[in-house]
Amino acid sequence: MDLPEGRLIRLRARADARPAPAEALLTALPTPLLVVDEEGVILDANVAAETLLNLSRSVIIGMHIHDATGHHLRSVPNDTPFVAYDLEVTLPGQRQQRADLTAAPLGDWPGWRVVTIHSHPAAGPIARRSGHAGAARTAAGAAAMLAHEIKNPLAGIRGAAQLLETNADADGRALTRLIRDEVDRVVALIDRMEDFTDTRPLATSPQNIHALLDHARAVAAAGFGAQVHVRSAYDPSLPPVLGDRDSLVQILINLIKNAAEALGETGGTILLTTAYRHGISMLTDGGDGRRHLPIEVCVIDDGPGAPDEISEHLFDPFVSSKRQGRGLGLALVEKLVSELGGMVEYAREGMPERTVFRLLLPRAKDR
Ligand SMILES: Nc1ncnc2c1ncn2[C@@H]1O[C@H](COP(=O)(O)OP(=O)(O)OP(=O)(O)O)[C@@H](O)[C@H]1O
Ligand SMILES: [Mg+2]
């Protein structure tokens, strides 16, 4: 942004005269923040941290980070910035919450770190993300039961209708055909639901995500996305993703289809981006292990975004704002992404705001 020179000079003059004192900034910061030393002992805490931990600063100072969050952060490198998404944190008093933790080295003090805690649902920068595989798993159980309990008798009904058809007159045949067609429709619906019940472990191998993005893009261009303009901004040096080709393609197609539908009849632009993100990891719950998810793939559209009333639940099955929507596309995305050990999140970002579905995936050589 270009500011007029006169205004810039005035702003500089004001900053020179009265730099905002660091303490006032920390007090005003709405994000809980702790400073910890190389042993994990807390050296300082801001007001937001006092509120979150429900303890005064003088009590917090000297506590161990494990007693404040339930995590030692031992496996977290103390010389590079680190983000752990969607951790279960245990606050003092055994209060459990899910939160994102960030840790960053503190310049001149080797081994010291600044830790911030972004608890849910007080929405951090991200509105909704995966890791809530519970919903998909419930759907998987329901779908498996449905498939088992309904498909067998349906086959019987269809067979009986076919038998009747041989002896029926014209009117009767119209009715038996109706039975068959409706049975076929229900079976097709169940087959789709069975995507959720497939719990075979994925055979993962190194995948060139750009080739898969281009494939998904070609599928879109040939069908549902014919009227929208798709652009890409790839990081050419991106290493291979560890994944399963079919799952990755399905994930990308579902996201691109939603973006195309969000842009509607009028058309618009879908942007596919890839990037390498250092320091993005997911701590495995309970343990001190962590999984790097450095490969970022975004499907971005300049449509209006999801309606507010469902934006917290987009990845739940049967949540849809579309007349013909089944609400299964994103639930399947979430299931497949969590099987790949990755993460998916929905956000509205940028100026002007755009819809971003962001995938964070493991790279091939990390395992
Ligand atoms: N790119 C997007 N822009 C705006 N809203 C979106 C976008 N992607 C998803 N949504 C919202 O999330 C809802 C759920 O998406 P999901 O793909 O799970 O189901 P669906 O598209 O409605 O139906 P289907 O099962 O056919 O995919 C959508 O109905 C829509 O409201
Ligand atoms: Mg969809």
Q: What is the CATH number of the domain that holds 320?
A: 3.30.565.10
The radius of gyration of the chain's CA atoms, rounded to the nearest angstrom, is: 26
**Cβ neighbours of residue 96 under 8 Å, at least 6 residues apart?**
88, 89, 90
Taking the CA of 335 as reference, the closest ligand is 1
**Count of domains forming the chain:** 3
Residue whose structure tokens are 């939160």 = 99
Q: What is the pLDDT of residue 230?
A: 94
Distance 40 CA to ligand 2 centre (A): 45
Closest alpha carbon to 126 in 256, 317, 263, 280: 280
Same domain as 320, residue 209:
yes
Distance 320 CA to ligand 1 centre (A): 6
Q: Between these two residues, 352 and 78, which has the higher pLDDT value?
A: 352
Q: What is the pLDDT of residue 292?
A: 85
Residue 10 CA: distances (Å) to CA of 2, 22, 25, 91: 14, 22, 22, 45
Distance 91 CA to ligand 1 centre (A): 35
- Residue 81 in this model has a pLDDT that exceeds 80: no
Q: Is the CB of 84 under 6 A from ligand 1?
A: no
Range of the domain at 192: 133-197
Distance 140 CA to ligand 2 centre (A): 18
Task: Show contacts of 119-128: CB within 8 Å, 24+ apart.
Answer: 119/32, 119/52, 119/89, 120/86, 121/312, 124/100, 125/347, 126/345, 126/346, 126/347, 127/311, 127/312, 127/345, 127/346, 127/347, 127/348, 128/311, 128/312, 128/313, 128/314, 128/315, 128/345, 128/346
Model confidence band, residue 122 (pLDDT cutoffs 50, 70, 90): very low
Q: Is the CB of 256 under 6 A from ligand 1?
A: no
Q: pTM score, two decimals? A: 0.62
Q: Is the CB of 320 under 6 A from ligand 1?
A: yes
Same domain as 176, residue 83:
no
* Mean pLDDT, rounded, of the chain: 82
Boundary of a domain, candidates 96, 124, 152: 124
Q: What is the pLDDT of residue 285?
A: 54
Q: What is the pLDDT of residue 103?
A: 86
Same domain as 76, residue 9:
yes
Same domain as 138, residue 54:
no
| Strand-strand pairing, 229-233 and 128-129 | unpaired
Residue of 192, 310, 320, 346 to test ligand 1 pocket, by largest number of atoms within 8 Å of CB: 320
92-112 residue pLDDT tens: 988 888 888 888 888 888 889
Model confidence band, residue 337 (pLDDT cutoffs 50, 70, 90): very high
- Lowest average pLDDT, out of 18-22, 55-59, 199-203, 331-335, goes to 18-22
